């Protein structure tokens, strides 16, 4: 299943993120790809707000990962843009972040190959004159089911 949307502004990009948060399940992995400025962190901010987070959401460009604790779930937000060598992920215990009690969102996933597990949902973002194009695709049956419930409010 592939969905395509245009976000005309930052608020709409956040609404798309919040909509995905409402239907994603624990244990899932989301890859965010796109050029600098395509809105990957904005989308993640909306995702976290959709789960009820009200604090500041910053890009973990220098820390590689930020964690957000909720009552029943932890969301890990990775930004691998500055990653020099995928082996750095091994040293930080990357496998511990991917578990059945978390959702992991990874910006620039290609920089972490081959150490990252496969994504359930892949979102490709691109800058277009109207705003940002988001192409959301499911990589497995579980993700297909999740995307079948994707609704933007």
The pLDDT tens digits for 85-140 are: 888 888 888 889 999 999 999 999 998 888 899 999 999 999 999 999 999 999 99
Whether 153 maps to a domain, the answer reads no
Which domain, by its residues, includes 75?
A: 2-147
Contact 28, 120 (CB under 8 A): yes
pTM, to two decimals? 0.92
Model pLDDT, residue 91? 86
Sign of the CA dihedral with 42 first, then 60, 146, and 138 last: positive
Task: Give me the CATH number covering residue 18.
Answer: 3.40.50.300
Asked, for residue 89, whether it belongs to a domain, the answer is: yes
Number of structural domains found in the chain:
1
Tell me whether residue 151 is exposed, middle or buried, using C-beta atoms within 10 angstroms of its C-beta: 0 to 12, 13 to 18, 19 or more.
Answer: exposed
Give a yes or no: residue 92 inside a domain.
yes
- In-domain check, residue 103: yes
């Amino acid at each position: 299943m592939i969905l395509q949307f245009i976000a005309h502004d930052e608020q709409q990009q956040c609404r798309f993120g919040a909509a995905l948060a409402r239907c994603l399940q624990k244990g899932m992995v989301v890859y965010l790809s796109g050029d600098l400025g395509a809105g990957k962190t904005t989308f993640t901010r909306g995702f976290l707000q959709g789960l009820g987070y009200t604090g500041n959401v910053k890009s973990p460009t220098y820390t590689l990962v930020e964690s957000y604790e909720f009552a029943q779930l932890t969301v890990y937000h990775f930004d691998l843009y500055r990653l020099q060598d995928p082996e750095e992920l091994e040293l930080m215990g990357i496998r511990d972040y991917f578990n059945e009690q978390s959702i992991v969102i990874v910006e620039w996933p290609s920089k972490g190959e081959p150490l990252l597990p496969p994504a359930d949902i892949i979102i490709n973002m691109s800058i277009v004159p109207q705003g940002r194009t988001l192409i959301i695709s499911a990589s497995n049956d579980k993700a297909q089911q999740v995307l079948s419930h994707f609704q933007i409010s």
